[in-house]
């Protein structure tokens, strides 16, 4: 089964915008939904996991794809 998720393109945005936009998008999603975040801000490597820890969301994965990072965040219940 393929996992369906929404994608947030935060490429070109600098801290704290990728996290702020992720927070706003997650608010509109149901519990358990997965948000895919694309970011190229070097600070996102620290900011996104920290945001997940602070807000209770689950960071499912953190990978790099060429010149940007790809995060999969599952919204907490």
- CATH number for 24: 3.30.110.40
**The predicted structure's pLDDT at residue 37:** 98
- Of the candidates 11, 15, 29, 60, the residue annotated as catalytic is 15
Does any domain span residue 32? yes
How many structural domains comprise the chain? Answer: 1
Chain centre to alpha carbon of residue 16: 12
Cα gap 24→42, rounded to integer Å: 21
Is 15 noted as a catalytic residue in this protein? yes
What does the alpha-carbon distance between residue 47 and residue 1 come to, in Å, rounded to a whole number? 30
Neighbours of 37 (CB within 10 A): 28
Q: What is the pTM of this model?
A: 0.93
Does some domain include residue 19? yes
Report the share of the chain in percent with pLDDT over 90: 92
pLDDT, tens digit, 9 for 90 and up, residues 28-46: 999 999 999 999 999 999 9
In a domain, 10, yes or no: yes
Cα–Cα distance, 66 to 38 (Å, whole number):
11
Name the residue with tokens 């975040």. Answer: 37
């Amino acid at each position: 089964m393929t996992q369906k998720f929404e994608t947030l393109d935060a490429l070109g945005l600098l801290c704290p915008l990728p996290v702020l936009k992720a927070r706003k998008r997650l608010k509109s999603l149901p519990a358990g939904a997965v948000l895919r975040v694309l970011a190229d801000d070097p600070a996102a490597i620290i900011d996104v996991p920290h945001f997940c820890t602070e807000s209770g969301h689950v960071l499912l994965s953190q990978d790099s794809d060429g010149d940007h990072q790809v995060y999969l965040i599952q919204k907490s219940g």
